[in-house]
Amino acid sequence: MEINSKTRLCCLIGHPVKHSISPNIHNTLFQKLNLNYVYLAFDIDPKDLRSTVRGFRAMNVLGFNVTIPHKINVIKYLDKIDSSAKESGSVNTVVNRGGELVGYNTDIDGIINSLKDVEYDNCGRALVIGAGGVARAAIVALRNLGLEDIIVCNRRLWRAAALVRKFRNDHLKMKAISISEASRYSRNASIIINATPIGMWPNVDETPLNSHEISRNAVVLDLVYNPLKTKLIIEAEKAGAKTITGLKPLIEQAAKAFMLWTSIDPPRELMWSVAEKTLKEIFRNEG
Ligand code: NAP
């Protein structure tokens, strides 16, 4: 696709953004689907967030993705947020609807669509490891899938306790524990989601749980996607559990964002091949 005066811009803002694979995924889709759009990543200092969003509005961008550390703070500069963003309190995708900037959280769709393909006991208990941005999305996703018992564990216990206060209600039983207690609850969990960077490159030998702490009836979803196969996924396989690597939710959240911008359901196979190729290149370059 030739870039010309009609090309519309789509962006990612974060701090940092240099390891993001979103530009590779979305630009490949735009080209293959013959769409006159281009996707660029911008490293935006938190002090420049407001002026950046004002600039995007003036430039009539098609939309943008938002990543760490702007997912919560961006909300105050938008015109509207949908229910997914309201529930999770964070936005990772913004759509320009005729000049109105509308925020969504497609991480929730990413997690739901990743779990939809596997069988699990939804009367069972879920364990969410982490209490940051994507842990909130995980809790909303689990609740929307019908889970009624969720344990949140975190290094800083008060953050897990804050999430429990936010989400607990008559239909959802929740408990906050410290990450050091995770193994006491993990053996009985039917779904385990790692929403921390534990095991992420270069700390590839780290895992929040070992095989003897995971039930063979569990489904283990690791949101870390570099490396593609984390130590947690290897331990879960050893335990005989079903596993989902972080690339699946990453691709599903990108697919939902793409749909919001273009109204086209993008080809997942192409997205997988671009994502895997790009991640392998990043690893090769970083040793
Ligand atoms: P975040 O808001 O910064 O939260 C990080 C969480 O990890 C916090 O709960 C933090 O605990 C915990 N943590 C950080 N370092 C830790 C360590 N060394 N030991 C134990 N706990 C630690 O980040 P986020 O946006 O939630 O992202 C978390 C991870 O998910 C990242 O690796 C990110 O790449 C990945 N992610 C994947 C997808 C996907 O689609 N696959 C989407 C979004 C994010 P404290 O509160 O105690 O600091």
CA 109 to mean position of chain CA atoms? 9
132 lines ligand 1 (CB under 6 A): yes
53 lines ligand 1 (CB under 6 A): no
Ligand 1 center to 1 CA (angstroms): 36
Ligand 1 center to 192 CA (angstroms): 15
Ligand 1 center to 264 CA (angstroms): 30
pLDDT tens per residue across span 125-176: 999 999 998 999 999 999 999 999 999 999 999 999 999 999 999 999 999 9
Task: Print the SS3 string covering 183-203.
Answer: HHHHCCEEEEEECCCCCCCCC
pLDDT tens per residue across span 78-134: 999 999 999 999 999 999 999 999 999 999 999 999 999 899 887 889 999 999 989
pLDDT tens per residue across span 255-286: 999 999 999 999 999 999 999 999 988 877 77
- Give the count of beta carbons closer than 10 Å to the beta carbon of residue 77: 19
Is it the case that residue 193 has pLDDT exceeding 80?
yes
pLDDT band at 287 (very low <50, low <70, confident <90, very high): low
What secondary structure does DSSP assign to 44-69, as a single string?
--GGGHHHHHHHHHHTT-SEEEE-TT
pTM of the model: 0.95
